[in-house]
A and B are shown apart, each in its own frame.
Chain A
Amino acid sequence: MNDLLGLFLTASLWAAVLNIATPLIFGTLGALLCERAGVLNLGIEGIMTMGAMIGWLTVYGGGGLWTGLLVAAAAGALLGLLHAGLTVPLGLSQHVAGLGITLLASALAAYLYRLLVEIGDLPPTIVPFQPLRIPGLSDIPFLGEVLFSRTPPTYLALVAALVLGLVLARTPLGLAVRMTGENPHAVEAQGLDPVRIRIGAVVAGSALMGVGGAFLTTAAFNSFFPAMVQGRGWICIALVVFASWRPGRALLGALLFALFDAYQLRLQAVVPGVPYQLFLMAPYLLSILALTVVARRAQVPEALMAPYRRGER
């Protein structure tokens, strides 16, 4: 029993939490931004896959790591534009269009990877982001290892959560996004264009998803394989609900989830005789449980999934 609790005192567990959380933070923030403007983006799973592939490919092709993240963001934005184009001006089913985007982006990622990369016995690798030890702070015992010796994209994720939180709460643009998710007619009646606001939010949110995917191949790991996103996108969608559509809580939710995930990974080593699949199932079941607990209480944006067509009554 002591062993099980003792795990919580190891710095490596807490360091792993931030690593596991980083793609989830990006993905959840991205999905949250889309949904705050009223658009459910089930393209997330595919967009993260595409981000993972193209971010890696950029670096593999000789680009820098940051260029890789940027290209992943651009690819995410492009796929987001496609999703927005289908669901906003055309008002198509956000469920089906999103699944279509996921199928398309996953398929294209696999196709392009296979087409452009020579694969031998082992998948080719790149040199990923290395931990950036923040001078001074990283020497603090325990916290220094956990918080201040992470790879740069992890810091970026934390900053992104803060920025998104501030933008939504404090700026006119954020108010416009939130209002569009609540009542697009109110936005239009005050002279703003809800269609553009929605498109913008989906494009920006999808860019964040792309970066989240790229973290997997440029920081957490050093190569790409087609099934690597492993449902993280869907977990992000669940986390948005769990977070009641608030960036701060989304960050917290991603960290909690990652803590659980990191813990179960270590538990596998400590507890012998239990099939590893049971541990791997746990995060998915936990997500479903979390959804069930909060679903009734969550304050859903009122116009989420309601298509807005101008002049249609």
Chain B
Amino acid sequence: MTPVLELEAITKRFGPLLANDGISLSLGEGEVLALLGENGAGKTTLMNILFGHYRPDSGEVRVMGRPLLPGRPRAALAAGVGMVHQHFTLAGNLSVLENVMIGSEPLLRFRSRRAEARARLLSLAERFGLPVTPEARVGDLSVGERQRVEILKALYRQARILILDEPTAVLARPEAERLFETLRGMAREGLSVIFISHKLHEVMAASDRVVVLRAGRMVAERATRDTTPAELAELMVGSRVVRPRRDRRASGDVVLEAQAVTLREGETTRLDCIDFTLRAGEILGIVGVSGNGQAALGRLLSGLARPTEGRLLLDGQDLSALGPRTLGRAGLGRIPEDRHAEGVIGDLPVWENATLERLREPAFSSGGFVRRGAARTHAQSLIERFDIRGATPDTRTRLLSGGNMQKLILGRVLASGPRVIVANQPTRGLDEGAIASVHARLLEARAQGAAVLLISEELEEAVGLSDRLQAIVKGRLSAPIAAEEADARRLGLMMAGVWDAQNAA
């Protein structure tokens, strides 16, 4: 196979962090290459260099044997490289056609040739089986449809090499399978594909070859048929990190209960008549594909939104009117979905982030004045108890790594001995070591009798930790199933919204 793309000795630093360390790889025509690695392994950085978003410190990218001008997406596009970004680069207020056309015409042309562009877009959509409506406003499309637009954008620019960054992160299983089918079809037509992933099963199912990155280095390259998921897992993580496992134990009384809760915001129904019960000493996992109401559920249980209808009960008491701080005092600890946007304030020191939600409690203030000594001492004890590395009470929180930031948040929650913990995507973006430590802490809390509501898009995590599972689809919750009954097929169906049929069967 002739290489259409070669990366040679790519090195990139961000300050003290060595993101890519002398990585070389090549891609053949019609080949599907998987780039496998944990969060932070350097996959996205490498692809951003390839596409020209970043300029490498050293090394070279060659397309069809010709060196690519570094740091210029325009050059990459011209050479036939297209990229489907994980965070779609689309404008929600503009139409599909406008999103596809941007940058494809000379800027100073007197008038856009929209009719021509529309015809070409529709013919591409037809050829690759990616139906779209050119006039639709992108903001009104589903996530899957947006991804289609993002792929069509690359094809419209006549990409011969397609890079997809975590393309299945936002897709349900059936959608993901359809996507890989499309990619296979493209490869048969001679396109070359690189996709980034950290999910072993899709790498095994969809790629011809796998390149494994770890801590910025390329650690292995395998033909997919010559390797096994177990080997890839070990290569990806390096030294084997074993995620802690849940032991069987009887759960206690019901602590938290949702009765037919509906949440509407403006015109949109975010949560649609959901029910769940959560018992002391158990973990209830809420699984689902991103964007199906997890954020709203998190807001609801964090005291940031009130049920429009239905009741939320803690120990039989109505919670509906409580805010974040009163929830905290009632014994409910919260781990937010987005560490950086909600969990901590990067420019404040660790001690303030450790105490902000409890600042009005007598432990940390008196007469309206902050008891800084007490707050610092508390922060110091969290740092020690939860092994928050690189932190002193006065460190600016921004400087902590993601894992240590999450330890701070977890510590803040656990230190007050909550009876209920709402953990929304608690390991998102963390590396394997940090994931294991978060899991261990949650299981420890469970063992001590806390009730944990785990909202997670990582199926493996949810199944591994939870006693029972419910799926969230378009704001509705399935009936719970015991973790022991959860197999891949059944979960896949649940997450696709097919549970009524299941119950009927």
Collect the chain B residues with CB atoms within 8 Å of residue A182's CB: 91-94
What is the minimal beta-carbon distance from B82 to any residue of chain A, in angstroms? 10
Instruction: Contact check, B109 vs A183: say whether CB atoms are below 8 A apart.
Output: no
How far is B95's CA from A223's CA once the two chains are assembled, in angstroms? 48
How far is B127's CA from A30's CA once the two chains are assembled, in angstroms? 44
Interface stretch (choices A78-86, A106-114, A170-178): A170-178
Tell me, yes or no, whether A185 is within 8 Å of chain B by CB. yes
How far is B85's CA from A181's CA once the two chains are assembled, in angstroms? 19
Q: Which residue of A lies closest to B87 (CB)?
A: A185
How far is B94's CA from A183's CA once the two chains are assembled, in angstroms? 10
What is the minimal beta-carbon distance from B414 to any residue of chain A, in angstroms? 30
Interface of chain A, helix or strand or loop or mixed?
helix
Collect the chain B residues with CB atoms within 8 Å of residue A185's CB: 85, 87, 89
Instruction: Contact check, A172 vs B89: say whether CB atoms are below 8 A apart.
Output: no
Tell me, yes or no, whether A275 is within 8 Å of chain B by CB. no
Q: Which residue of A lies closest to B54 (CB)?
A: A311
Given A182-B92, A301-B93 in contact, is the A190-B102 Cβ separation under 8 Å? yes
What is the minimal beta-carbon distance from B239 to any residue of chain A, in angstroms? 28
| CB contact list, B110-137 vs A, under 8 A | 110-112
Given A191-B74, A191-B77, A311-B53 in contact, is the A186-B109 Cβ separation under 8 Å? no
How far is B154's CA from A189's CA once the two chains are assembled, in angstroms? 10
Instruction: Contact check, B93 vs A171: say whether CB atoms are below 8 A apart.
Output: no
Given A170-B111, A171-B110, A189-B85 in contact, is the A179-B77 Cβ separation under 8 Å? no
Tell me, yes or no, whether B107 is within 8 Å of chain A by CB. yes
- Which residue from B72, B93, B107 sits with its C-beta under 8 Å from A299? B93
Tell me, yes or no, whether A146 is within 8 Å of chain B by CB. no
Q: Which residue of A lies closest to B51 (CB)?
A: A189
Q: Which residue of B lies closest to A173 (CB)?
A: B107
Q: Residues of B within 8 Å of A, CB-based: how many?
A: 34
Collect the chain B residues with CB atoms within 8 Å of residue A240's CB: none
Tell me, yes or no, whether A187 is within 8 Å of chain B by CB. yes
Instruction: Contact check, B53 vs A172: say whether CB atoms are below 8 A apart.
Output: no
Collect the chain A residues with CB atoms within 8 Å of residue B107's CB: 172-173, 176, 192
Tell me, yes or no, whether A139 is within 8 Å of chain B by CB. no
Tell me, yes or no, whether B99 is within 8 Å of chain A by CB. yes
Interface string of A49-79 (1 = CB under 8 A from B): 0000000000000000000000000000000
Interface string of A149-192 (1 = CB under 8 A from B): 00000000000000000000011110110110011011111111
Given A186-B91, A311-B54 in contact, is the A172-B73 Cβ separation under 8 Å? no
A-B Cβ contacts below 8 A, count = 84
Q: Residues of A within 8 Å of B, CB-based: how many?
A: 22
What is the minimal beta-carbon distance from A171 to any residue of chain B, in angstroms? 6
Tell me, yes or no, whether B446 is within 8 Å of chain A by CB. no
How far is B476's CA from A279's CA once the two chains are assembled, in angstroms? 56
Collect the chain B residues with CB atoms within 8 Å of residue A192's CB: 74, 102-103, 107
| CB contact list, B236-289 vs A, under 8 A | none
Instruction: Contact check, B98 vs A188: say whether CB atoms are below 8 A apart.
Output: no
- Which residue from A171, A299, A302 sits with its C-beta under 8 Å from B109? A171
Instruction: Contact check, A183 vs B91: say whether CB atoms are below 8 A apart.
Output: yes
* Among A171, A175, A301, A302: residue with most chain B CB under 10 A: A175
Instruction: Contact check, B92 vs A188: say whether CB atoms are below 8 A apart.
Output: no
How far is B90's CA from A186's CA once the two chains are assembled, in angstroms? 6
What is the minimal beta-carbon distance from A304 to any residue of chain B, in angstroms? 11
Q: Which residue of B lies closest to A190 (CB)?
A: B103
- Which residue from A170, A176, A186, A311 sits with its C-beta under 8 Å from B99? A186
Given A182-B92, A188-B73, A192-B107 in contact, is the A176-B53 Cβ separation under 8 Å? no
Q: Could you show 12 A-B contacts with beta carbons less than 8 Å apart? A: A172-B106, A172-B108, A183-B90, A186-B102, A187-B102, A188-B89, A190-B103, A191-B72, A192-B102, A301-B93, A302-B93, A311-B53
**Apart from A187-B103, A302-B92: 7 A-B pairs, beta carbons within 8 A:** A170-B111, A172-B107, A172-B109, A179-B94, A179-B98, A190-B77, A191-B76
A residues bordering B, Cβ < 8 Å?
Answer: 170-173, 175-176, 178-179, 182-183, 185-192, 299, 301-302, 311
Interchain residue pairs A-B with the least CB separation, the first 9: A190-B103, A191-B74, A182-B91, A186-B89, A172-B105, A189-B89, A183-B91, A191-B77, A185-B89
